[in-house]
């Protein structure tokens, strides 16, 4: 009898709950105060109870945050500038009570968005419920994407210097097909690259990792691989990019081993091309890797004239996915946690495709030198590169794909149950 009563109460609670959970998604203008300036974001949102949840993908595009989703892993990868943030959909402890799935979209409350902005932009998001406004602040000179038209808002209640709100358009993903992957083993032949105290040479290690990566890509991803070198031979930096461009590579991955006079320096770094290095250290590394080009008569200033690449967005995405997979291996230590670095490397500057350069561990660090001699470490690095490329392919080949908690379209009730399970 008691049990029956309990069941009845439970059932009625479920019914009320289910009723309340029938969310209506609206595509409307959300008022924000952006570092003191009132704006409007044109974005999907859901109201549930006293809270509003905002479409993460739309929010990201308004703030120049690159959003990518790797369906197999249910992983959302967010990149902005050199910062990146990884979220596992439905399993992110910090976002446990801050999200809603609906219509294959991932919505976050103000608290959830606060977590995103804190991680990527040293920023914060607060909900001003009285004025139905999101108060957003962040540390950067970069403004969100500018809007097309200004629109006076008669009912705007937000505190701010003006009542002009600007709508921010929603970004549409890019579709990108990968058939040929260029793997570039740094140095070779007369150019040994960095050399350890015990005589271990960078050129040998980069070749081993490159060959292993090529094998894994062909076997697991069934893609064509172009190696700029497959034996111990000298190839100039110009020739490397020429090989990549002539063969119409779709993505370019250069593999190097790091070195410095500081014997304590350790960890793996992932770089994309930029005329301005992230910091002095990154600039120094680029200078070392470009040295062979500079010695051969190349002028340093040419590097500065290349400008930023049009495929920056895809390079960041590729770098982020490789970094994400690197972080998955306990013995592959990431030097700059969650950061993609930028530096003016000649070889990725001139490759006519999304390109990243890896500085795998430090040959000058005694412990990492031991790791570099270990074949398991090298094959983990190769595996991380391969999976990173695979995730990149998955996240760029189907831009229309939204975050999906379930494999196929199901009835709303069923989908809701699945969502609950995911929590």
Residues that bind Zn ion (CB under 5 A): 186, 193, 256, 289
Give the shortest CB-288-to-Zn ion separation in angstroms: 7
Residue 373 sits at the vertex; the CA angle it makes with 368 and 378, to the nearest 5 degrees, is 85
Closest among 192, 229, 180, 190 to 207, alpha carbons compared: 229
Phi, psi dihedral angles at 68 (to 5 degrees): -135, 150
Cβ proximity to Zn ion, 127 vs 209, nearer residue: 209
Residue nearest Zn ion, Cβ-based: 256
Between 256 and 387, whose beta carbon lies closer to Zn ion? 256
Assign 227 to helix, strand or coil: strand
Q: How far apart (Å, rounded) are the C-alpha atoms in residues 391 and 64?
A: 21
How many CB atoms are located within 10 Å of the residue 420 CB?
Answer: 13
- Partner residues linked to 45 by β-bridges: 26, 54
Rounded Cα distance, 54 and 69, in Å: 17
- In this complex, which beta carbon is closest to Zn ion, that of residue 173 or of residue 186? 186
Minimum CB separation of residue 257 from Zn ion in Å reads: 6
DSSP code, position 355: E
Mapped onto helix, strand or coil, the DSSP state of residue 127 is strand
- Minimum Å distance from CB 345 to Zn ion? 9
Minimum separation from the CB atom of position 204 to Zn ion (A): 12
Give the nearest distance from C-beta 211 to Zn ion in angstroms.
17
Minimum separation from the CB atom of position 256 to Zn ion (A): 3
Residue closer to Zn ion by CB (options 193, 344) is 193
Rounded to 5, what percent of the chain is helix, strand, coil?
35, 25, 35
Q: Smallest distance from the beta carbon of 363 to Zn ion, in angstroms?
A: 9
DSSP one-letter string for 398-414: -TTPPP-SSSS---HHH
Residue 29 or 269: the one with the smaller Cβ distance to Zn ion is 269
Q: How far is the CB of 200 from Zn ion (least distance, A)?
A: 13
- Residue pair 67/57 in contact (Cβ under 8 Å)? The answer is yes
d(CA 423, CA 405) in angstroms, rounded, equals 11
Task: In angstroms, give the least distance from the CB of 266 to Zn ion.
Answer: 17
φ/ψ of residue 377, rounded to 5 = -60, -50
CB of 256 or CB of 416, closer to Zn ion: 256
**Contacts by 238-246, CB closer than 8 A, 24 or more apart:** 238/293, 238/350, 240/184, 240/347, 241/346, 241/347, 241/350, 241/351, 241/352, 243/182, 244/182, 244/184, 244/351, 244/352, 244/353, 245/350, 245/351, 245/352, 245/353
Cβ of residue 96: shortest distance to Zn ion, in angstroms?
43
Q: Which is nearer to Zn ion, 193 or 267 (CB)?
A: 193
Complex with Zn ion: residue 269 or 415, whichever CB lies closer: 269
Q: How far apart (Å, rounded) are the C-alpha atoms in residues 260 and 265?
A: 7
Instruction: Find the helix or strand (DSSP H, E) in which 210 lies.
Output: helix 202-216
Cβ proximity to Zn ion, 289 vs 415, nearer residue: 289
* Residue number, 104 or 197, with CB nearest to Zn ion: 197
């Amino acid at each position: 009898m008691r049990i029956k009563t309990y069941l009845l109460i439970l059932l009625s609670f479920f019914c009320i709950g289910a009723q309340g959970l029938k969310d209506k998604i609206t595509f409307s203008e959300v008022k924000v105060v952006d570092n003191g300036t009132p704006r409007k974001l044109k974005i999907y949102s859901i109201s549930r109870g006293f809270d509003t949840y905002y479409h993460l993908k739309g929010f990201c595009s308004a703030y120049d945050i690159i959003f990518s989703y790797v369906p197999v892993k249910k992983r959302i990868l967010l990149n902005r500038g050199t910062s990146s943030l990884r979220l596992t959909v439905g399993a992110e402890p910090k976002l446990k009570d801050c999200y809603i799935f609906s219509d294959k979209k991932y919505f976050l409350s103000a608290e959830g968005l606060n977590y995103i902005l804190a991680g990527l932009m040293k920023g914060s998001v607060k909900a001003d419920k009285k004025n139905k406004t999101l108060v957003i602040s962040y540390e950067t000179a970069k403004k969100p994407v500018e809007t097309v038209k200004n629109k006076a808002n008669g009912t705007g209640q937000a505190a701010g210097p003006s009542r002009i709100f600007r709508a921010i358009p929603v970004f549409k993903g890019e579709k990108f097909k990968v058939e040929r992957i260029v793997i570039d083993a740094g140095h070779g032949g007369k150019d040994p690259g960095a050399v350890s105290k015990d005589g271990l040479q960078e050129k040998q290690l980069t070749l081993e990792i490159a060959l292993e990566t090529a094998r894994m890509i062909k076997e697991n991803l069934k893609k064509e691989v172009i190696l700029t070198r497959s034996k111990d031979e000298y190839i100039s930096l110009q020739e490397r990019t020429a090989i990549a461009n002539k063969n119409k590579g779709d993505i370019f991955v250069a593999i190097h081993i790091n070195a410095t006079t500081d014997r304590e320096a350790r960890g793996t770094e992932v770089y994309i091309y930029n005329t301005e290095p992230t910091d002095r250290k990154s600039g120094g590394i680029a200078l070392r890797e470009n040295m062979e080009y500079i010695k051969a008569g190349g002028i340093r200033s040419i590097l500065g004239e290349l400008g930023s690449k049009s495929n920056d967005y895809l390079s960041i995405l590729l770098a982020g996915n490789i970094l994400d997979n690197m972080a998955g291996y306990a013995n592959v230590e990431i030097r700059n946690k969650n950061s993609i670095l930028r530096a003016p490397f000649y070889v990725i500057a001139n490759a006519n495709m999304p390109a990243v350069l890896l500085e795998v561990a430090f040959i000058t660090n005694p412990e990492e030198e031991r790791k570099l001699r270990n074949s398991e470490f090298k094959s983990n690095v190769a595996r991380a590169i391969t999976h990173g490329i695979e995730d990149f392919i998955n996240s760029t080949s189907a831009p229309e794909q939204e975050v999906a908690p379930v494999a196929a379209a199901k009835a709303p009730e069923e989908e809701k149950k699945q969502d609950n399970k995911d929590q």
